[in-house]
Copies of this chain bind each other. A is one copy, B any other.
Amino acid sequence: MTLNAEPEEVQARFEELDVLEAEFENVELELIRKSNELNAPLWQERAELVAKIPHFWTLVFEQAPTEFDSFILPSDAQIFAECFETLEVTRFEIDDPKGSPRSVLIKFGFSDNEYFENKVLEKKFWFRKSKDWEGLVSEPVKIDWKKGKDPTEGLSDAAFDLFQARKKSAKSANGSSKSKDSELPEYKKLVSMIEESTEASPSFFAWFGFVSDYRWVSAEESEQTAKEDAERIARLKCGEKVEDDEDEDEDQTDYQETEVYPQGGEIATLIAEDLWPSAIKYFKSAHEQDGDDLSEIGVEDMDEDENESGDEIDIRGLVGKGRTSSPPNKKQRKA
């Protein structure tokens, strides 16, 4: 390990890594497309099958790994146990040359319930790039809460309202709108609601109001960034010198001031990449446990509620026994 590297050499290494990373990314996108193609018919089969299994998705959510579980408050679990019926994850830009195979739509189906009017809550996440960030951005989803039943205590409404106000303001005052953002009454309202919130973590339902881990990035900005990135890589491949614009002013705006669910992108990823592909595994592990554990997220409560209303549901009876008993240690995460 002898090295007396000149700055130029170091720079060259970094450029080579950038080119290689772009090639890895292309392979990754191809694999997402391949995965989607091969799994799509199985997901369809699974949807038909689990439609016959009550509480399938509630039990999957219950058995989710801790990193996901910690986002579901007991009050959220109660709502899920009562009315959560279907989950669907789709890659809605999988073949869109201007979109990304990483973009994902997460669709929840609910039965009639005492909390909200919606039968379906659909949240779209677009994978987008800005000069200094890439990740999932989303528009807040309107939840029609029944009176006094909103576990987010107005957060999801306020997030939705701000997003609409921003759209309107951008339309009416194109260009100069950016500086006015924090002047919007909806902005001030949301910021003070977030500041005043005493809860350690908000209800899971506030996640429907999520916008971004960083800031909203439009389709146009993302396309432009992707184009510039591709051009830069193409020039590096040809051995051209490419100037970095790293000296640009850093953007100091605190975009997260109005984010109702800062870990929203992480949750979308956990649902799309873990709960969704591994749903059968999690469902089975719910059934391999003792019946007592099933009450953990309120399934038992729901059970009682439904018994009161005349239906006969016995979660314990449904549970049956797993095909095999678990070994002393937790099963190996598959390599």
| A-to-B contact residues, CB < 8 Å | 1-5, 7, 10-11, 13-14, 16-18, 20-21, 23-24, 27-28, 30-31, 34-35, 38-39, 42, 45-46, 49, 52-55, 85, 102-104, 111, 125, 127, 131-136, 213-214, 244, 246, 250, 254-256, 262, 265-266, 268-269, 272-273, 277, 280-281, 283-284, 287, 306, 311-313, 317-318, 320-335
Cβ-defined partner of A328 (8 Å) among B13, B30, B34, B256: B256
B318 touches A280 (CB 8 A): no
A329 contact from B31, B256, B318, Cβ within 8 A: B256
Q: A35-B31, A135-B331 are in contact. Are A323 and B18 (CB under 8 A)?
A: yes
Give the residues in chain B near A52, CB-CB below 8 Å.
13
Q: Which 10 interchain pairs have the tightest Cβ spacing? A: A135-B332, A133-B327, A27-B38, A102-B335, A269-B335, A214-B327, A132-B324, A265-B332, A21-B280, A213-B329
- From B34, B136, B329, B332, A335 is in contact (CB under 8 Å) with B136
**A335–B14 contact, CB under 8 A?**
no
CA distance A125 to B334 in the complex (A): 12
The answer to whether B10 and A332 have CB atoms under 8 Å apart is no
Kindly list chain B residues whose C-beta atoms are within 8 Å of the C-beta of A273: 335
Of all chain B residues, which has the CB nearest A55?
A: B1
CB within 8 Å for A1 and B313 given contacts A52-B13, A213-B332: yes
Nearest B residue (CB) for A1: B54
Q: Are A328 and B134 in contact, CB atoms less than 8 angstroms apart?
A: no
Are B280 and A24 touching (Cβ within 8 A)? yes
* Pairwise interchain contact B38-A31, C-beta atoms closer than 8 A: yes
A255–B328 CA distance with the chains assembled, in angstroms: 9
User: Measured between alpha carbons, how far is A104 from B333 in the docked complex, in Å?
Assistant: 14
Q: How far is the CB of A69 from chain B (nearest CB, A)?
A: 16
* Interface-centre pick from A23, A272, A306 (highest chain B CB count, 10 A): A23
Closest chain B residue, CB of each to CB of A306: B1
Find out whether the CB atom of B53 lies under 8 angstroms from the CB atom of A321.
no
In the complex the two chains form, is A39's CB within 8 Å of B20's CB? no
Please tell me which one of the listed residues B2, B20, B21, B85 contacts residue A311 in the complex, with CB atoms under 8 A apart: B2
Partner of A250, one of B28, B35, B103, B325: B325
Contact between chains at B49 and A16 (CB < 8 Å) = yes
Q: Once the chains are docked, how many angstroms separate the CA of A250 from the CA of B85? A: 36
A250 to B322, CA, bound (A): 14
